[in-house]
Amino acid sequence: MTNRREENVWIPESDLDGMTVDTLAVRAGQIRTGQLEHSDPIFPTSSFVYGSAAQAAARFGGEEPGNIYSRFTNPTVQAFEGRIAAMEGGERAVATASGMAAILSTCMALLKSGDHVVCSRGVFGTTNVLFQKYLAKFGVETTFVGLTDMDQWERAVRPETRMLFIETPSNPLCEVADMKALSSLAKANKALFVVDNCFCTPVLQRPLEFGADIVIHSATKYLDGQGRCVGGVVVGPNKLMEEVYGFLRSAGPTMSPFNAWVFLKGLETLPIRMRAHCDNALELALWLDQQDNVEEVFYAGLETHPQHSLAKSQQSGFGGVLSFRVKGGRDEAWRFIDATRMISITANLGDVKTTVTHPATTTHGRLSPEDKDAAGITENLIRISVGIEAVEDLKTDLARGLEALQSSSNGNV
């Protein structure tokens, strides 16, 4: 017996015009099949069939829209792309195999030999390596500058500058960029302004509204939210995304249908998760700021943070990542981390489970000592991605780290 489509039942598409990001996170981008399923379906297939050889030729030749091969056309991936594009307020999104693949695809599609990039120092360590080591092999030169120093940005721009690239808030010191100012600088020099929005997500910040040309995410982080899958996505105008899509089609850094489905499920709860992350992170930042063995806390939600007012003007929340310096060096930082008994020691972030890491030897471990120093990645720096556990329980676990430092300073090691 052949299962038939419910072809005689008509279900109108959701009218999402003017809806908020909370609603878009749940409903945007869904591609409902003839089976009229309510949940998003998964299409774990490598290829698609056609009604005739002529139709196959039309699909491959671009004369007829439709699926061809899951390296670059898959309905589940397209649903994820449609949802995140709607949430960011962009025309189109292109999903990739990882966050780094999203950055690489953007650069390979839109830059050429002889082009110049200005990048903030406060980016994920592997982003630094990608620009400094690998793109340089293909003739793309990068200058690194302080995220918040507009004089450095202006001095770094050259006639051949084609891209300004930032993360805001930065990783791991939570510095905040003036996106409008950087957008103006980019436009004045006919360069693209690219923003990695991983820390805030479109729930807290929409860079396109502040002049960004392209937004990038590691979907592995908050978009998933539970540390299950690796993926990335690029969002922007159709013209630019068509170039990124072309690179994806040829080079193949592709998101799998299963991962796209997991990310779709993650997006449904993203707004409520981000608010819980923000609430917990702010309370922990305030608490850590009062501890004797903590030298300095980095979190834009603190009124003492130098870009606190700027963050309030660009973000609807301060995010779930904070960092702090303990008194001492690497030994003390490791002692603090090792004393915790609940918080996960891992370099991933954006999980509902709180994680802790030592950036100088993990996320930014491949940077040279000079680059670490310039980026503020000291040996006594610890980064926490605050989850959604009970905040009092998180304080209890972090207090174990503080007690270990106190015992050490008293000679009780």
Cβ 167 vs Cβ 120: under 8 Å: yes
Residue-wise burial string across 330-343, b where 16 or more C-beta atoms lie within 10 A, e elsewhere: eebbbbbbebbeeb
Cβ 162 vs Cβ 191: under 8 Å: yes
Class of residue 5 by CB neighbours under 10 A (exposed 0-12, middle 13-18, buried 19+): exposed
Mean pLDDT, 10 residues at a time, the chain of 413 residues: 52 81 93 86 95 96 93 96 97 98 98 98 92 97 97 98 98 96 98 98 98 98 97 98 97 97 98 98 98 97 97 98 97 97 96 97 91 92 98 98 86 62
pTM of the predicted structure, to 2 decimals:
0.93
> Tokens 């992350």 map to which residue?
277
For 116-234, where are the alpha helices, taking DSSP H only? 125-129, 150-156, 179-188, 201-204
> Tokens 């409008």 map to which residue?
180
For residue 381, give both structure tokens: 């720096």
Cβ 163 vs Cβ 118: under 8 Å: yes
Please name each of the domains of the chain with its CATH number.
21-268 (3.40.640.10), 271-409 (3.90.1150.10)
Q: 390: which residues sit within 8 A by CB, 6+ positions away?
A: none
Phi and psi angles of residue 193, each rounded to the nearest 5 degrees, phi first: -110, 115
pLDDT of residue 366: 87
pLDDT of residue 1: 43
